[in-house]
Amino acid sequence: MDVDVIIGIVLTAVGVIILITTITTLTLVMRLLGRRAFSNRRWFFVQIMLVFFVVGYIINALEMGGIDIIPVANDLLIVSFVYFFGGIFTIVTILAIRNMLRDILGKHIPDEEAIGIFLKITDTDRVLTHLNEMFVVKCDNCNKVLTYTVADVVRDHAFTLERGIQVEEVFGTVSYKLHPVHKCKDGRREICVVHDNNLASRSVEENRLIYGGRI
């Protein structure tokens, strides 16, 4: 066997190991995102493409070793396919990263528009006394005192509003659950604060990590 064939097979084998490690790591990341209620759809496509690459690499290594699996007359055609799928893989991965960052970081929205979104998603048509107020809550994980407004919560969860703002009605009494986000010592964390039917802050319900910590 020629030296360049051996080098080719070794490089492909190392590539397969790297790809399998990537698939394993991505599976853990997807599990983490799923547990924290973020979408995994695009990462699922990335995962499928990685599996295809592994199969392609293995077929290529076998072909180099003289085992013909797919009879293709022109080797350059295979190279063109690899370039094409490499391009698709890159764009799908970049879009998955963009979506994940949007989910986690939110979006800049002016106050007035953010308040409008809040009233729309909570289906509120009456005047809420504390709608424009600045609220204060203390994080019991980092001891930081954070201030937030309703508009801040809308911005933080601009792409995952159902996760950031919830309305509950018990025996005719409406309460709003707002989840302000802050940069805590172990990552981005949200605190669930229950507000009464006029939006006055009432109690702290939950303090949970959104992103960060150990995978």
Contact residue for Zn ion among 46, 54, 139, 178 (CB under 5 A): 139
Q: Which is nearer to Zn ion, 178 or 184 (CB)?
A: 184
The SS3 assignment for 72 reads coil
Rounded to the nearest whole angstrom, what is the least distance from the CB of residue 187 to Zn ion in the complex? 9
Q: Which is nearer to Zn ion, 139 or 199 (CB)?
A: 139
Residues 32-91 that bind Zn ion (CB under 5 A): none
Under 8 Å CB-to-CB from 153, ≥6 apart: which residues?
118, 164, 165, 178, 179, 180, 181
Q: Which is nearer to Zn ion, 56 or 106 (CB)?
A: 106
Rounded to the nearest whole angstrom, what is the least distance from the CB of residue 116 to Zn ion in the complex? 29
Number of residues counted as binding Zn ion (CB under 5 A):
4
Q: Which is nearer to Zn ion, 33 or 142 (CB)?
A: 142
Q: Are 198 and 144 in contact (CB under 8 A)?
A: no
Rounded to the nearest whole angstrom, what is the least distance from the CB of residue 189 to Zn ion in the complex? 5
∠ Cα 182 184 188 (to 5°): 60
Detail the DSSP E strand segments found in the chain.
135-138, 145-148, 165-170, 173-178, 181-184, 187-195, 201-212
189 HSE (CA, 13 A, CB side)? 22
Q: Which is nearer to Zn ion, 121 or 142 (CB)?
A: 142
Span of 41-49, 50-58, 108-116, 135-143 interacting with Zn ion by CB under 5 A: 135-143
Structure tokens at 17: 């190991």
Structure tokens at 19: 């790809």
Question: Which string of x and - marks every residue 142-181 that binds Zn ion (by CB under 5 A)?
Answer: x---------------------------------------
Rounded to the nearest whole angstrom, what is the least distance from the CB of residue 210 to Zn ion in the complex? 11
Give CA–CA dist 138/107, Å, rounded.
24
The reply on whether position 184 binds Zn ion by CB under 5 A is yes
Give CA–CA dist 59/12, Å, rounded.
10
Q: Which is nearer to Zn ion, 151 or 184 (CB)?
A: 184
Contact residue for Zn ion among 47, 93, 141, 197 (CB under 5 A): 141
CA distances from 152 to 42, 109, 112, 137 (A): 27, 9, 11, 13
The footprint of Zn ion (CB under 5 A) covers 139, 141-142, 184
